[in-house]
Amino acid sequence: MKAITAAELFTSGRRISDPLVLVEDGRIVSISSRDSQPIPPGAEHHAFPNAALFPGFVDIHIHGSAGYDVMEGSDSGLKHMAGFLATRGVTSFLATTVTAESSALVEAVEKIAAQILDWKVYGAARPIGIHLEGPCISQTRRGVHPEKDIRNPSIEFFDRIHRAACGTLRLITLAPELPGAIEVIREAVRRGVKVSIGHTDGTSEDAIAAIAAGATHVTHTFNAMRPLEHRAPGVLGEALNNAKLTAEIIADGIHVDPRVVSIFLRCKGLERSILVTDAISATGMGDGRYRLGPFEVVVTGLRAESEGRLAGSVLTLDQAVRNVMQFAGWPLADSVRLASANPAAMLGDDTIGVLCPGNRADIVVLSPAGEVLQSFVSGAAPGLT
Is residue 149 within 8 A of residue 102, CB to CB? The reply is yes
DSSP string of 56-101, one letter each residue: PEEEEEE-EETTEEGGG--HHHHHHHHHHHHHTTEEEEEEE-----
Question: Cα dist. 204→178, 220, 228, 248 in Å?
Answer: 14, 17, 10, 18
Distance between CA atoms of residues 356 and 42, nearest Å: 23
Distance between CA atoms of residues 136 and 199, nearest Å: 9
Shortest CA distance to 127 belongs to which of 87, 90, 164, 76? 90
**Residue 300, CA atoms < 13 Å, CB-side half-sphere:** 6
Q: Does the annotation count 278 as an active-site position? A: yes
Question: Cα dist. 165→95, 107, 319, 350 in Å?
Answer: 12, 10, 31, 22
Distance between CA atoms of residues 180 and 187, nearest Å: 11
Shortest CA distance to 161 belongs to which of 200, 134, 127? 134
Catalytic residue among 278, 287, 349, 362: 278
Distance between CA atoms of residues 253 and 319, nearest Å: 11
Distance between CA atoms of residues 25 and 122, nearest Å: 12
Is residue 284 within 8 A of residue 342, CB to CB? The reply is no
Distance between CA atoms of residues 192 and 218, nearest Å: 17
Shortest CA distance to 217 belongs to which of 195, 235, 191, 188? 195
| Burial (Cβ within 10 Å: 0-12, 13-18, ≥19) of residue 262 | middle
Distance between CA atoms of residues 57 and 91, nearest Å: 6
Q: What is the DSSP letter of 380?
A: B
Q: Which residues are catalytic?
A: 278
